[in-house]
């Protein structure tokens, strides 16, 4: 999948501030940067607090992926990139899994910036090497920035072009980014530090093009490089024994596997059988029916496969059925609300999901940022001007935040059916003698749901039946992986409804313009619904300009409230645990960080346990 870069999500005051000279600005020099407040880790930290610094290196971990791949370029919408294809690329700054809003130096020793963050200088490590052994310099950083500005995702470069005034190489290991006046600077040092760095020489020598699909990967500085590749079927990533940063404190206890292998399957059931057969060794279980009933085979019973739940402190993913608002029939919010009423989560959870899930209501579900109840006075102060300008209805100030509808025990909830019928009648979609809903022009209200996952059919088919009972010509169209990508990526957007994600971050910045902004709505790989709302645009600016955690929290809650009122989605579900199964040859730190499971990062291979499994014939 393509990756967003405007969000290194995080930045602010750090460590050592130089005393100002009269008439000069105060310049801060630090080992990292935090959006608000202080960094948790001092400059002399020896390792991240959640890793095992003595974890052994070695062995293989293998996972599965859906579909296939035909590209090694993760930064293009063309082709389907191989899993973990961004692994070879590092950025100047990197985050941790136990802090929100903090970034630390990786490719740099320190960064320098003024209090207003109007520019940043990165002091690069002279020892950094690309995986072919050639040195990385400031020229590579400049080239990477210029390449992403010219050829990155359209929505990303549209935003980036409004932020950076100039980039200057000061010497081979120092580079300065100067930011434009009139835009919020809070996140920009971290955003620039979050750009991936690629080798200029390798890119040019191989005639690569960031916009194009290619099986020739770009050259990065990361600790994993491509190994065995069977295009569309399997790919292995191997740890570079000469990785330049192996001994850095921020990397200690991480990158422990010699090999990370990904096996591709076109069918969810086939992938599950592949796990049982030992074709891959670590599985995150997303199917509730599989989790509840599928792990009844001997290897689980005798402990050769571990089946467990581990806590997940992340906010929900925003998984939802997304409307394509570019379609005229979905312009009326009453139509969208009516369609949303026909999805019965409660019945699905009890009948199909074994009660494992909770409903998503908020774009920031399961976090302190979700809007609740009626607006607080602080939220209302942000919303009132938008009401006064006619950009929002006055009811946004008095009504509770929009919640997903609830349904009864039967698949077709009669009360919701009546509510949905009334909404469609009001919207001009009335029922004819044949039971189908038509507008004044005689057009039938049709809804096509695209699906590329056979395991999702059992969830979507009852929803389709409920929509038909409402008089909608609803159908489920199964497409393969490549067709799904072709129909949902810009510029085609050839769909009515799909399963996707309403994306968010804990500390939001310019990436919100990619997710929900009007300016990028017709070119974005993330705003698939095509949301264009002046009120949302204004609130995004408020979030980006927030100068404290308190301001940012209030602004995000106000934005969440308005996004939910747009009804561009039918929210789905989430769970607050990782449901995983793995062959009993892996270990992890006793206390995991809240924001990642980290199985490919800081877990490790137990050679003795692996040999026992092989001796028992469980693994080949």
| pLDDT tens per residue, range 111-161 | 999 999 999 999 999 999 999 999 999 999 999 999 999 999 888 999 999
Beta carbons within 8 Å of 115's beta carbon, 6+ residues apart: 25, 26, 28
Q: Tell me which residue range forms the domain holding 588.
A: 232-243+250-313+576-615
| Predicted pLDDT of residue 620 | 76
Same domain for 270 and 122: no
9: in domain: no
> Which residue, chain included where needed, has tokens 């209090």?
115
Residues 267, 392 within the same domain: no
Q: What CATH number does the domain containing 295 carry? A: 3.40.190.10
Q: How far apart are the first and last CA of the chain?
A: 31
User: Is the separation of the CB atoms in 595 and 97 below 8 Å?
Assistant: yes
Q: Is residue 127 part of a domain?
A: yes
* Domain end (from 556, 574, 592): 574
What CATH number is associated with residue 491?
3.10.105.10
Pairing mode, if any, of strands 437-438 and 577-583? Answer: unpaired
Among 19, 342, 7, CA closest to 156: 7
**Are residues 506 and 407 both part of a single domain?**
yes
pLDDT score at 481: 84
* Contact call for residues 63 and 280 (beta carbons, < 8 A): yes
> How many other CB atoms are found less than 10 A from the CB of residue 556?
28
Contact 542, 572 (CB under 8 A): no
Euclidean distance between CA atoms 163 and 228, whole angstroms: 40
- 566 and 582 in a single domain? The answer is no
Distances (CA, A) of 220 to 157, 169, 269, 270, 339: 21, 20, 36, 34, 46
Q: What span, in angstroms and rounded, lies between the C-alpha atoms of 25 and 294?
A: 63
Report helix, strand or coil for 516. Answer: helix
Residues 22 and 76 in one domain: yes
Output the pTM of the full model.
0.89
364 & 473 share domain: yes
Task: Identify the bridge partners of residue 282 per DSSP, sorted by sequence position.
Answer: 582
234-239 and 259-265 beta bridge pairing: antiparallel
Task: Quote the CA–CA distance of 138 and 74 in Å, as a whole number.
Answer: 23
Establish if 211 belongs to a structural domain: no
**Residue 238 burial (10 A CB sphere; 0-12, 13-18, 19+):** middle
Rg (CA), the chain: 25
Please indicate, yes or no, if residue 215 is contained in any of the structural domains: no
**Structural domain contains residue 275:** yes
Residues ≥6 apart with Cβ < 8 Å to 343 = 321, 463, 466, 570
How far is the C-alpha of 442 from the C-alpha of 434, rounded, in Å? 13
Looking at the fold, whether 343 and 265 belong to one and the same domain comes out as no
Q: How many CB atoms lie within 10 A of CB 257?
A: 23
Query: What integer pLDDT is reported at residue 167 of this predicted model?
Result: 98
**CB 375 within 8 Å of CB 396:** yes
Same domain, 543 and 608: no
Q: What CA–CA distance (Å, rounded) separates 277 from 279?
A: 6
**CA dist., res. 246 & res. 248, Å (int):** 6
Phi/psi of residue 603, each to 5°? -75, 170
Parts of the chain with a pLDDT under 50: 1-23
Q: Are 89 and 221 in contact (CB under 8 A)?
A: yes
Whether 138 is in a domain gets the answer yes
Same domain, 306 and 323: no
Confidence (pLDDT) at 34: 97
Q: Is 482 left (phi over 0), alpha (psi -120 to 50) or beta?
A: alpha
Among residues 9, 1, 4, 10, the alpha carbon closest in space to that of 157 is found at 4
Cα(604)–Cα(589) distance, integer angstroms:
9
| Structural domain count, the chain | 3
Q: Which of these, 454, 450, 61, 458, lies nearest to 265 by C-alpha position?
A: 454
Q: Are residues 560 and 595 in the same domain?
A: no
Three-class DSSP category at 142: helix
| Residue 565 and residue 402 in contact, taking contact as beta carbons nearer than 8 Å | yes
Sheet-wide strand order for 16-17: 16-17, 27-30, 108-114, 119-124, 174-179, 164-171
Distances in Å between the Cα of 54 and the Cα atoms of 61, 254, 404, 591, 599 are 19, 10, 47, 15, 16
Q: Could you tell me if residue 263 is inside a domain? A: yes
- Residue 225, in any domain of the structure: no
Beta strands of 125-233 (E only): which ranges? 164-171, 174-179, 224-230
pLDDT of residue 454: 86
C-alpha–C-alpha distance, residues 384 and 393, integer Å: 10
What residues contact 17, with CB distance under 8 A and at least 6 apart?
26, 27, 28, 29
431 with 467, same domain: the answer is yes
DSSP 57: P
Q: Please check whether residues 420 and 479 belong to one and the same domain.
A: yes
């Amino acid at each position: 999948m393509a990756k967003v870069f405007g969000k290194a999500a995080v930045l602010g005051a750090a460590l050592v501030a130089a005393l100002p000279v009269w008439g000069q600005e105060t310049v801060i020099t630090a080992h990292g940067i935090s959006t608000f407040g202080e960094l948790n880790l001092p400059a002399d930290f020896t390792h991240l607090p959640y890793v095992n610094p003595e974890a052994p290196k070695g062995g293989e971990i293998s996972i599965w992926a859906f579909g296939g791949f035909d590209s090694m370029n993760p930064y293009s919408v063309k082709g389907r990139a191989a899993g973990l294809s961004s692994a070879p690329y590092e950025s100047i700054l990197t985050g941790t899994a136990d802090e929100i809003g903090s970034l630390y130096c990786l490719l740099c020793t320190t960064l320098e910036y003024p209090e207003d963050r109007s520019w940043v200088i990165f002091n690069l490590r002279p020892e950094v090497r690309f995986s072919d052994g050639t040195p990385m310099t400031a020229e590579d950083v400049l080239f990477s920035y210029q390449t992403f500005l010219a050829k990155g995702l359209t929505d990303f470069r549209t935003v980036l072009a409004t932020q950076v005034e100039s980039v200057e190489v000061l010497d081979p290991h120092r580079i300065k980014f100067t930011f434009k006046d009139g835009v919020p600077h809070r996140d920009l040092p971290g955003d620039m530090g979050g750009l991936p760095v690629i080798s200029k020489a390798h890119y040019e020598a191989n005639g690569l093009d960031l916009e194009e699909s290619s099986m020739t990967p770009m050259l990065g500085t990361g600790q994993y490089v491509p190994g065995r590749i069977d295009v569309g079927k399997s790919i292995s990533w191997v740890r570079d024994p000469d990785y330049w940063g192996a001994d850095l404190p921020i990397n200690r206890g991480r990158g422990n596997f010699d090999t990370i292998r990904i096996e591709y399957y076109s069918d969810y059931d086939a992938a599950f059988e592949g796990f049982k057969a030992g074709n891959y060794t670590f599985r995150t279980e997303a199917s509730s029916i599989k989790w509840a009933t599928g792990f009844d085979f001997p290897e689980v019973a005798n402990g050769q496969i571990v089946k467990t739940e581990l806590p997940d402190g992340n906010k929900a993913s925003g998984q939802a059925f997304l409307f394509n608002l570019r379609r005229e029939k979905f312009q009326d919010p009453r139509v969208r609300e009516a369609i949303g009423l026909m999805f019965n989560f409660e019945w699905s959870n009890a009948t199909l999901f074994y009660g494992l899930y909770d409903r998503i209501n908020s774009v920031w579900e399961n976090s302190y940022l979700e809007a609740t109840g009626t607006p607080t006075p602080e939220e209302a102060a942000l919303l009132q001007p938008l009401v006064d300008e006619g950009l929002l209805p006055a009811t946004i100030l008095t009504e509770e935040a929009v919640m997903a509808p609830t349904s009864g025990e039967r698949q077709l909830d009669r009360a919701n059916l009546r509510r949905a019928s009334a909404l469609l009648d009001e919207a001009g979609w009335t029922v004819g003698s044949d039971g189908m809903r038509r507008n004044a022009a005689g057009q039938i209200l049709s809804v096509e749901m695209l699906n590329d996952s056979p395991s999702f059919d059992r969830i979507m088919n009852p929803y389709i039946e409920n929509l038909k009972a409402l008089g909608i010509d609803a159908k489920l169209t199964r497409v393969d992986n490549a067709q799904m990508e072709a129909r949902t990526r810009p510029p085609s957007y050839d769909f009515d409804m799909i399963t996707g994600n309403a994306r968010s971050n804990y500390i939001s910045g310019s990436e919100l313009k990619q997710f929900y902004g009007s300016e990028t709505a017709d070119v974005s790989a993330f705003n698939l619904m095509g949301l264009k709302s002046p009120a949302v645009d204004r609130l995004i600016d408020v979030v980006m300009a927030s100068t404290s955690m308190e301001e940012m929290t209030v602004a995000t809650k106000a934005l969440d409230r308005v996004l939910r009122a747009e009804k561009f989605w039918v929210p789905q579900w989430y769970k607050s645990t990782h449901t995983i199964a793995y062959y009993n040859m892996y270990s992890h730190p006793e206390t995991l960080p809240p924001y990642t499971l980290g199985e490919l990062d800081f877990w490790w291979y137990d050679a003795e346990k692996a040999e026992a499994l092989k001796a028992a014939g469980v693994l080949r």
